[in-house]
Amino acid sequence: MKTQYYNAVTQKENGTKLAGQVLRAGGLVAFPTETVYGLGADGLNEEAVLRIFEAKGRPGDNPLILHVARKSDAKDLWTRVPEKARQLMDAFWPGPLTLVYDRAACVPDAVTAGLGTVAVRMPSHKTALALLRAAGVPVAAPSANLSGKPSPTTAAHVKRDLDGKIDVILDGGPCEVGVESTVLSLLGQPTILRPGGITREMIEAVIGAVALSPAILSPLKEGEAAASPGMKYKHYAPQAEVRIAPPGSPRAIASSICAAYDVAGRAGKRCVIFATEQTRGFYCNREYAIIGDRKNPSTLCANLFAALRSYDDGAADLILCEPLDESDMGLAYMNRLLRAAGFAVLQPGVPL
Ligand code: TXA
Ligand code: MG
């Protein structure tokens, strides 16, 4: 299959109109959102939805998010709109918050992986909204990467993973948030299944206490059921190994990273440090990349996936990363980083 490229910036509405027609005809379109690029198909067309799983190599038991152009579209996809959903939609839609609730009968099994619930979100990216309006249907869309790889935050990342496997890539420039949406279940006690651009603190200011799924910061135990099936799969893995320093002061974090760098370097590994504005001074004579400002975790979220991908193709064997506090956007950052590292944290004296 030949993948067509449309540019949402230079072709303006034409690009989104053409891409919308492809979706209506059952095709696959990668498109920008404020979080990451999505790989969309008509969410009410089971055959089209199944093509997403095939193109990504995604396990069939990992459900998809339905993307809508208007808040009012959610009511057709759920059995009803609970009061807390209404409050959250008013506060945060359009934006990076996905809400999970009981599914309506029109939602195909392929979207929900047979679950009784469906995840819905209204993105805020102008191109995403224009495409959703042009398509005129709810659009099922996971991140537009090969399953297991870091999510794509540019059209070039999508091309690298999916060129020749999908109908259209709609280029709308780099994504702003850089990590995927927050996934919040509204069945019973509201529970964050995946942290993202709308933080726990922001949600609690609107609906009161929310729980955090234990799978956010630790691996699922053998045989444990996942509230969100996506949690059980290997995620965000670049080609290099990733290791995280244990928590501590910036100086202590940098010192464990330098020790690991030097040990790995002596063993012939090519290492790179993902540094921050605050710690760059600790890493002199070592290879590092500044990926953000520790005082503003959103900056690290915005750059993480692109930074991981930039060391693919053998550019590094080992990527050493700093942990952040797990509050506000630091929680989303640590959730992605721990998965990229396969939960591997550096331990003093323990071989890498
Ligand atoms: O920001 C985003 O959410 C991006 C953009 C493209 O919108 N999409 C995205 O989709 O990240 P995906 O498929 O990569 O991640 C969806 C997550 C998975 O962890 C999945 O298991 C979970 O949402 N999920 C989907 N439907 C669910 C449901 N009914 N119950 C629980 N978890 C669900
Ligand atoms: Mg994904």
Structure confidence at residue 77 (pLDDT): 98
230 domain residue, yes or no: no
Q: Which residues of 120-157 are buried (b: 16+ CB within 10 A; e: fewer)?
A: bbbbbbebbbbbbebbebbbbbbbbbbbebbbbbbbeb
229 lines ligand 1 (CB under 6 A): yes
Structure confidence at residue 35 (pLDDT): 98
Q: Could you tell me the residue range of the domain that residue 113 belongs to?
A: 4-216
What residue type is 107 in one-letter code? V
Output the CA 103–ligand 2 centroid distance in Å.
Answer: 21
List, in order, residues 6 or more apart from 251 with CB less than 8 Å away.
282
Question: Which stretches of the chain score pLDDT less than 70?
Answer: 222-223, 232-233, 349-352
**Which sign, positive or negative, has the C-alpha torsion 310, 312, 320, 200?**
positive
Do 158 and 259 lie in one domain? The reply is no
Structure confidence at residue 2 (pLDDT): 97
Do 168 and 299 lie in one domain? The reply is no
Do 278 and 175 lie in one domain? The reply is no
Say whether the peptide bond before residue 247 is cis (omega within 30 degrees of 0): no
CATH, residue 167:
3.90.870.10
Output the CA 6–ligand 2 centroid distance in Å.
Answer: 23
Do 192 and 249 lie in one domain? The reply is no
Do 212 and 263 lie in one domain? The reply is no
CATH, residue 294:
3.40.50.11030
349 domain residue, yes or no: no
Do 30 and 78 lie in one domain? The reply is yes
Stretch (H or E) spanning 24: helix 13-24
235 domain residue, yes or no: no
The CA distance from 70 to 136, in Å, is 11
Residue among 28, 102, 180, 182 whose CB has most ligand 1 atoms within 8 A, to mutate: 180
Do 268 and 185 lie in one domain? The reply is no
